[in-house]
Amino acid sequence: MVDIRVVHPRFQRRALAVRPAGVLGPKLLVDGVPSTREKGAYRVEDDEGRVSVVKLKGGIDPIPKVEVDGQLIQIAPNLPWYDFALAAWPFALVAVGGALGGLFGALAVTANLRIMRSSRHAGARYALALTIGVGACVAYAVLAAVFRGLVRNEQ
């Protein structure tokens, strides 16, 4: 995913951008350089040298909303409900498989949300999300069967 510019009147000359979530979550960039977060917020100098408090607000979506001095800025449109539902269905594995199912489900949901936010054609995004979800279910089933087999052999 590419960096997304944050449009705010106090940052016309300075480039404020967000790098969508990777493994460790989204990053705030100031003039192309990652900023340091302290206690959940970034302290960034605006065009006039005044310090602004910037927070990245998000849930599981890799693209967060940005709060600059209390003003919430949406830098990308919300995913339509059907994209979100298709991306998130593998998390149902937690109900079937407990912690192991939750692990596989969470990994699949994370990958699917990144795919849904990509610029691929809609059909390709949906096919990939379904494939990843089914793959997570198969991987869970195989690993659960292996664990069951190991436990039975020890008894």
The percent of residues above 70 in pLDDT, for the chain, comes to 97
Distance in Å from the first CA to the final CA of the chain: 49
The percent of residues above 90 in pLDDT, for the chain, comes to 50
Mean pLDDT of the chain: 89
The pLDDT assigned to 23 comes to 65
Res. 155: pLDDT tops 70? no
What is the 3-state secondary structure of 72-105? EECCCCCCCHHHHHHHHHHHHHHHHHHHHHHHHH
Residue 67 host element (H or E): strand 65-68
Q: What is the pTM of this model?
A: 0.78
What angle, 0 to 180 degrees and rounded to 10, lies between the N-to-C axes of helices 81-88 and 93-116? Answer: 130
In whole angstroms, give the CA distance from residue 79 to residue 71: 21
Phi, psi of 137 (to 5 degrees): -65, -45
Band (pLDDT 50/70/90 cuts) for residue 21 is confident
